């Protein structure tokens, strides 16, 4: 009986330990961030609603740190990041693994080592590739020898090459992986605007990419919130594509019918509070330009437009500029001294005017002839001065 009681006590202790370990599953992130003495290092969970602080530590002389956190009660991998100020390192955590990160501040985002997780290594590869892509885009934009058309074409080619490489080597290779999910939400910055590289709102092919990862996550992580989120994004993308296709059919003009085709009117209020109609400018050659004054490239575009306006306005050239800035006061301040028509779509980049003309990026412009006929958009024009003169 004494032995039985002893064995029973052992069984109870083991069971208690097992229950405790099941409810205290932890993952570990350690390493060092050099040159960051007295800096606050934050560990943040990246959920569907954005980053949430999990833990933090003030770094010492050697920059060493260690986070031991409870693993989430889920079978799906989760996303975290290490952050100091605006520099961060993205990580994917699967269950109870240990990930080691070593970096140097203030360039930790662009130069770090990670070990202990294949997922985190792949995310590092994608991060470095994304940074190289952004550098290439910046170089194209800064090249003074490229026309606007050539710049857009070069950027389009860079994005196409990047997407093809990421799809083949990361997304379609293992769509159930955390790094495949991470790749879907990579971005690039152009003219001050942040854009998705894989954009289901702008590309049918990108919708398919989201749907492929969503289907894979359904199989491996049934009922996961991230998988459902991907399905919702894909469905919204399909809906946006249908709307975009309808708008394109409305705005695309058969050259053989150019003499009777018109432009879509945009009744919007200008910076003086007056309602202006695009179609009221019949008899003039019009540049319809969509603009964001908060864009760092805004001044360069305004100078180009001012030059055109000064040269051709007296001959019947007009500019109808549509702002998508969210701040009305800022827009009015920026346009107070401009001589052309400045209106604003209060719904910004989601506005009907943007959708009506299938605007994917700003600044973007269209040329409308004296008969109110939409002729060409910026990417179709090689020599803007010569083209405007041919229509005057």
Task: Match 């971005």 to its residue by tokens.
Answer: 187
List of residues 6+ apart from 337 with CB closer than 8 A: none
Is the full-model pTM beyond 0.75?
no
Residue 262: what pLDDT?
60
List of residues 6+ apart from 60 with CB closer than 8 A: 37
* Pairing assessment for the beta strands 87-93 and 78-84 based on DSSP bridges: antiparallel
Radius of gyration in angstroms for the set of CA atoms belonging to the chain, rounded to a whole number: 27
Q: Tell me how far CA of residue 294 lies from CA of 93, 197, 333, 363, in angstroms.
A: 37, 22, 12, 11
CB atoms within 10 A of CB 144: 4
Q: How far apart are CA 109 and CA 127, in angstroms?
A: 9
Strand partners, 342: 321
Helix/strand/coil for 59: coil
Helix/strand/coil for 216: helix
Q: Tell me how far CA of residue 257 lies from CA of 28, 336, 377, in angstroms.
A: 67, 39, 17
Q: How far apart are CA 331 and CA 295, in angstroms?
A: 12
Of 339, 342, 384, the residue nearest 366 (C-alpha): 384
Residue 88: what pLDDT?
93
Of 263, 334, 258, 321, the residue nearest 287 (C-alpha): 321
Helix/strand/coil for 340: coil
Of 59, 60, 62, the residue nearest 84 (C-alpha): 59
Residue 8: exposure state from Cβ atoms within 10 A (0-12, 13-18, ≥19): exposed
Low pLDDT (below 70) residues in the chain: 1-24, 72-74, 240-262
Q: What is the DSSP letter of 76?
A: S
User: Taking CA 15 as the corner, what is the angle to CA 93 and CA 97, rounded to the nearest 5 degrees?
Assistant: 15
Residue 366: exposure state from Cβ atoms within 10 A (0-12, 13-18, ≥19): buried
Q: What are phi and psi of 345, to 5 degrees?
A: -90, 110
Residue 54: what pLDDT?
94
Tokens encoding 181: 């999910």
Helices (H), the chain: 2-23, 118-142, 148-166, 178-184, 204-220, 225-251, 298-312, 328-335, 352-356, 384-391
User: Taking CA 233 as the corner, what is the angle to CA 230 and CA 239, rounded to the nearest 5 degrees?
Assistant: 145
Q: Which long-range contacts (CB under 8 A, 24 or more apart) does 85-92 make?
A: 85/39, 88/44, 89/114, 90/46, 90/123, 90/127, 90/182, 91/29, 91/117, 91/120, 91/123, 92/117, 92/119, 92/120, 92/123, 92/178, 92/179, 92/182
């Amino acid at each position: 009986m004494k032995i039985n009681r002893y064995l029973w006590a052992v069984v109870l202790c083991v069971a208690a330990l097992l229950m405790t370990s099941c409810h205290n599953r932890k993952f570990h992130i350690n390493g060092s961030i050099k040159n960051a003495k007295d800096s606050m290092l934050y560990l943040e969970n990246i959920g569907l609603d954005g980053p949430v602080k999990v833990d933090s530590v003030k770094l010492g002389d050697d920059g060493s740190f260690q986070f031991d956190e409870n693993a989430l009660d889920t079978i799906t991998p989760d996303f975290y990041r290490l952050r100091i100020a605006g520099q961060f390192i993205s990580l994917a955590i699967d269950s109870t693994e240990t990930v080691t990160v070593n970096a140097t501040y203030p360039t930790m985002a662009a130069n770090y080592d990670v070990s202990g997780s294949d997922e985190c290594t792949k995310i590092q590869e994608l991060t470095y590739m994304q940074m190289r892509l952004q550098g290439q885009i910046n170089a194209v934009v800064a090249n003074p020898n490229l026309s606007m058309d050539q710049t857009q074409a070069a950027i389009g080619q860079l994005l196409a090459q990047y997407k093809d490489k990421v799809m083949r080597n990361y997304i379609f290779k293992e769509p159930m992986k955390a790094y495949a999910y991470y790749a879907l939400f990579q971005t690039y910055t152009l003219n001050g605007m942040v854009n998705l590289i894989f954009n289901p709102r702008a590309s049918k092919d990108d919708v398919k990419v989201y749907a492929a990862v969503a289907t894979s996550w359904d199989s491996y992580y049934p009922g996961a919130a991230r998988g459902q989120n991907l399905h919702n994004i894909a469905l919204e993308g399909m809906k946006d594509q249908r709307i975009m296709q309808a708008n394109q059919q409305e705005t695309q003009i058969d050259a053989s019918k150019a003499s009777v085709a018109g432009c879509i009117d945009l009744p919007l209020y200008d910076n003086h509070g007056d309602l202006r109609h695009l179609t009221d400018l019949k008899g003039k050659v019009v540049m319809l330009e969509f603009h964001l004054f908060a864009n760092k490239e805004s001044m360069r575009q305004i100078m180009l437009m001012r030059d055109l306006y000064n040269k051709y306005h007296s001959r019947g050239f007009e500019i109808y500029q549509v702002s998508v800035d969210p701040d009305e006061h800022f827009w009015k301040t920026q346009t107070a001294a401009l001589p052309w028509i400045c209106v604003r779509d209060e719904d910004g980049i989601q506005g009907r005017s943007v959708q009506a003309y299938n605007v994917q990026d700003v600044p973007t412009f269209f040329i409308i002839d004296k008969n109110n006929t939409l002729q060409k958009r910026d990417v179709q024009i090689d020599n803007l001065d010569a083209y405007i003169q041919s229509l005057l």
